[in-house]
Each structure stands twice: as structure tokens, then as C-alpha cells.
Structure 1
């Protein structure tokens, strides 16, 4: 594999993934060292720009956000009409999908895919994330920016920082407490744990309000409190306690599962970057990311994040341009001999679960 000296991991396609890696074919730009490689991304950026793929798409986002807004309004209306009924669990399931789409909308706003200017992007992000989702926009944006800068870097990417799940064998060897127990069985527990992700985002948001990195802790704290006052107030006012708790379990559980199913296929099971290694920007983003093949339904379900390689290379690129950028980027990577990974949705989850099982091996071995 190209760049194998700077990347480690357990990516073993086993027929599940398609990799474009024509070693020896095409021009060999960037093979002599990082100084030469520095120009590789510039050339790709020029091709993308010449194709007009970085232009804003106001009509697309108007239609998309209006559709999500109508779905949210419809879910709230159904909730009010049904009253104290177990049929509310169907509303909870529908609302989980709507919340997932709101999360994807907040993501696009944070990357300035919708607006080119910071202020409207920030206002939109605060409304969608804090007010509608109950998640801190400032906290999440800070976390996600660090992920984009160093994807799959064990010490710099917060998305692979050891918590209750370990992402590398070195993390597994250092695991203590609950992480040590869960790490042994994390492949089997991964999807059940995802049902807690929605609640985890909200809890982490409140914790982050005390962080010095938060720019507007008072504003965001007020918006978060307002969200949950309306959320819990509405549930426990209209529903009996048992039905309200069941609604929360179904809504938050499926919401977390939805988000995890969108974000997990993109990097999990791809190579990890070693401390001290400095692959150039193009290779750092391409080699640690995976695209998910599918059709229109996959594009809608994942909000364009199925084109993860192109999204990491051009974070501000509007969602509808990513498919065309994928063709250009894959062809360019083939010219350079850079492995370009694509997989189906189910196969990508299978690879991620296989990776989780492999990195947990030291914990299982220690318990024998």
C-alpha cells in the first residue's frame, strides 16, 4: 500500500471493499518526498475548481431544509393530535429520522456549505443544533474541526480518542475500568452502544459549557436549556410518565443509531496515522477515509457523507457537487497510485466491526 510507512491499521477488504490502486500506472508525481507531494492537492483543487464544483447551491439547500422543516412540523403536529397514546412511539421513530437529518443540516452549516459567510452559518448552526437538536454547535464544531485536521490520528482526532471503545491495539493495552471490559466485546456491543449516542451528544454539550474553548457558553447554555424545557415539558405534559419515558427511549435510541450508522462507515477500520508521521494533506485525507457506494437513497440517508473522501478534501463543497467530485478525485488518485477505498454500506459496517474485534484482541487475550 502506498504510504504504508506512515499508516497503520487493520484494513483487510476481504472482498467487501473496492480499492483503486493501480501501482505503476500513470505519472508518479509525489513519490519523491513531501516537498514534491505538496503540489498534488493543488492540482486536484484546480481541477475541482475548474469544474465549478465549489459554487454554492442555494436552491438545493432551500428545498432540502424546507423539506426537513416540514417533516419536523408534521411530526410535532402528529404528536399533538395523537395525545396520550402508545401510537406516539411511531412518532418517536419518525422524529429520530428527522433529528438525524437536522444533524446533517447542522454539519453542512458548520462547514459553510450553505452560506459562504461565517455569521449566517453560525446563526443557522445555533438554531438547528442548540435549539432543535439540543446539541452545542460550538462544542461540536470545535471537535469536528479537529477531526478533519487529523482524521484517524490516535492522539489528535477526538473521534478515535479512547473512551469506552478502543480504536487501536495500543489503546486496548492501556484500557482500564469499563473500557477494558467493553473493549473485549466491543464489536458485539457497538450498535447497542450507538443507541446512547444522542444522549451522549447532549450530555457532552452541557459539560463543554465550562470549557474555556466555548465562545458563547451563556448563549448556548440558554438555548440548550430552552430545548430540553420544551422537549421534556411537552412529553410529560401530554403523555403519562410511562409513555413519555418510552417515547424518549425510542426517539433518542433510534436517533443515536441513525447518526452512528452515518458516521461510522466513513473512517472506522481505515488505517490509523502514527504519532510523528506527516503524510501530506491529500494522502492524509484519502488514505484514512472510505466512500460508501449506493444510489439516491444512500445519498439522502447519509446526507452526502457517503462521499467522505471528497468531503474531507473539500469540506465546504455543497452536497450535490460531491458525486461529480468523486469521479475527478478517484481518477486523480489513480494517476498518483494512491489507494482509493469504496464500499457498500453493509460491507463498510462489516469492515468496521471486524476492525473493532481485531483491536480488542489484546484485552481478550489478557483475560484468558
Structure 2
């Protein structure tokens, strides 16, 4: 019998895009001439295998661009999700969408199949910057897409924004935040630009043609973001995430609480039964693997006891609430001070973490130096 209440999530990857953004290093391919229908066949087969092992409490469909699928393909995806993975007591069902490919028909499909949350990739409301980073939509397209979703009953919407973009000023950032807040959305995820190999921006940086803000300016922007969003009632609950009470991301919180989840689709990563695994990335290789073995795993790593404790710390400390001292002891059978006493003393002495109400969390100073905090627990 399938356990319908087991605590787990499912991430489903749609790698297709109508265009490639200059900063993106996710597993993605141009949509044109891709075997999309064959991919959906393989995706359904992989879903079937994991669904038989227990239905997830959360589902997150990401990409790539899930809304790049046409209406027929999009509906087929949700038919398969409903058949193989849908839990009657689902806690959260999120789908990523881009403004230029989100339309009324797709919103109706998502509503019919029980999607509870939309993640809209906006990045900025500045038209010049949108062109600079290779986005296909304009600022008004993004605002209109959000309003259309709201008209169709989607009130739990999160916007993805970016900062420290080429040529971005604090004024431009402020205007984007104000435009986002004016839409009445309850959640914002905001990330600084990261230069990753094999991206257009990385190549421009190497050639010296990409001008980026310095670290101090980036820190000033981050401080501005925290102040402005909290002033408008979106509390800072994770390093890069802000929400009105009750709208915190359930699926992503599962990652930060170091819980297990299925990773389904080309290039997806999963963590299941103590094993972290990665699927084949190229679409055709993914299809071949699933057809041969029922899943697409090309690498597996059994997480050691020490690694589980490390992950509990550096993932949990991303949350502003931090890590529960009592929960750590219950989970691992050892007091947290016994395992990480030296690191905790050093971080406290530097003013980067503190302990309150039985929880270890980053101080405001620690939030700005998060990588220094996380690295302290990587001792294996």
C-alpha cells in the first residue's frame, strides 16, 4: 500500500526554454526541434516509479521553463502528475512560469489540476536591465502576468528577483521592489547575480566586457532589500526569501530542513533513502536511461552520518530561525556542542551566530557573511 502521508517532496524538471538567459546555468535546452513528447513519456515513467514508493507532500515543477510547453503538452504533464504523484492532502504544489509564456489557458490547466502556488521569473522591472540579462519579457509583461494569475484565483504567488546586476543602481533596485510590492504578492525570492561557467555572462566576465557592482555595493543592496521588504510586511525567513506570515515556501523549506525528496527529470538532483543522486542531463540521454532502467540516475552518493550533520547545520542556518539544539540531539543522538563546540565558540566570538530560545541562528552580521558561517561546518 502506498503511504500517502509520508514526509517527502518531488521536484520535476522541465529543461525546455524558448530562449537562454545570459546568467542561467540550470540544465536547459532550446525548445525548437527537441523530442518534447518523448521526454514527457520518460518523465511519466520516472514519476510512476517514485510514486509507487510513496506520494509526496509537496510538488515543485521547475526548469528551464515549464510554461514553454504548449497547451497540449502542458496539460499532459499535469495529467501524469495527477496520476502518479498527486497526494489528496498535498501541502503545496508550485509551478515556475515566465511572463511571456504564461497565458489564460495554462492558468486554467494549473487551477484544474490543483496547483496552489506560482513562481514567476521576473528578475527586474527595469526594461533596460531585462534586455541586459537576456530576458524575453518586458516589465509590463511581468506585471500583467501576475495580475492575470490573480484574476484566475492564484493568490499565493512568489516573484523571483535579482540584484547586483550589470549597471544596476540602488534607485533602480528600489523601483523594482516597489513595482513588485504594488502587485500585492505575498512572497519574494531575491538573489544576487552569480557568475557560473558555461554562461554568456561568465564568458563576458573572462573577456573583461562585463561590468558588475563591487562586493561592498552588493552588500549595501542586500541591506536595502531587507529593510524595504520587512517595512512592507514581508519578513526575512531565509537568506534569499521574504514572505508575509503563512506564505513561506513549504517545498523549499524542506530542502533547508535537510529532508528527503524525489528529483525527477533531466539533470534533476534528488535525495532519497539516504542517497543523493543526479540524473542524466542531456535530454536524449535522460530518455534512454529511463527507458532502460526506469530512472535516469548517473551518479549516487550515500550520505555519511557526518555529512548529514554538516548538512543539517549549513542548510538549517540559512533559515533566520536557525537550527534547533533539541532537534539536532534527537535526530543524531549527540549534543550539538559535542560535535561542533569549537566552531560554535569561534562563530559566537566573531558575532556571526547566537543562541536564543534553544535555537542557533545567524546574527544580522552573520547574515551578510553567510558563506563564512556555512563553511565552518564543512569539516569532513
Whose RCO is larger (CA < 8 A, sep 6+)? 1
Report if TM-score (shorter chain) is over 0.5: no
TM-score by length of 1: 0.24
TM-score by length of 2: 0.23
> As a proportion of its length, which structure holds more strand?
2
